[in-house]
Structures are given as structure tokens and as C-alpha cells.
């Protein structure tokens, strides 16, 4: 059985949260659980990716200057 918790939530976020629950006709508990699970998964993925990139940097795996310059030249018009 879930354990009840008390959280301090900004009023504007709380209002949006209540409105979403009402609009979607879903229990607030389901929305909270879904939002937290989604956030935790995204955070885990980010940290895993960051760890892989730091490990690659520790191994000396960097893009060559020419590769970086070519990338920015190819994407200059997107900025």
C-alpha cells in the first residue's frame, strides 16, 4: 500500500495539476505517480548518458577540431 506524503507545491503548478486531473478525468494519484516515474526515468537516462560521455572523455575520445568546425559550419543556418 502506498505511503502518504506531504509536499510543498507552488500554487501555479498545483492549479495546473488539479485542472489536468479534472480535464482528463483521472485520479490525481495516477497523475502524480506517472509524472514522478517519467521524471525519474528521464533523469536516469540523462545520468547514464552523461556517465558514458565522461568515460569516453576520460579515455581521450574527443572530436577532432575539424569535426567540430564541420558540424558548426553545417548547422550555422539553424541558429
- 14 lies in some domain: no
CA torsion through residues 28, 32, 35, 38, sign: negative
Nearby residues of 28 by Cβ (< 8 Å), 6 or more positions away:
17, 18, 21
Burial class (CB in 10 A: 0-12, 13-18, 19+), 32: middle
Residue identified by cell 498545483 is: 14
pLDDT (tens digit, 0 to 9) for every residue of the chain, 79 residues total?
Answer: 778 889 899 999 999 999 999 999 999 999 999 999 999 999 999 999 999 999 999 999 988 889 989 999 999 887 6
- 28 lies in some domain: no
Q: Is the pTM of this model over 0.75?
A: no
- 29 lies in some domain: no
- 45 lies in some domain: yes
Q: How many domains does the chain have?
A: 1
- 47 lies in some domain: yes
Residues of the domain holding 70: 40-79
- 50 lies in some domain: yes
- 2 lies in some domain: no
- 65 lies in some domain: yes
Amino acid at each position: 500500500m502506498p505511503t502518504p506524503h506531504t509536499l510543498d507545491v507552488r500554487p501555479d503548478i498545483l492549479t495546473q495539476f488539479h485542472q489536468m486531473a479534472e480535464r482528463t478525468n483521472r485520479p490525481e494519484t495516477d497523475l502524480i505517480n506517472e509524472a514522478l516515474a517519467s521524471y525519474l526515468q528521464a533523469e536516469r537516462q540523462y545520468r547514464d548518458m552523461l556517465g558514458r560521455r565522461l568515460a569516453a572523455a576520460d579515455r581521450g575520445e574527443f572530436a577532432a577540431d575539424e569535426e567540430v568546425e564541420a558540424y558548426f559550419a553545417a548547422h550555422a543556418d539553424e541558429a
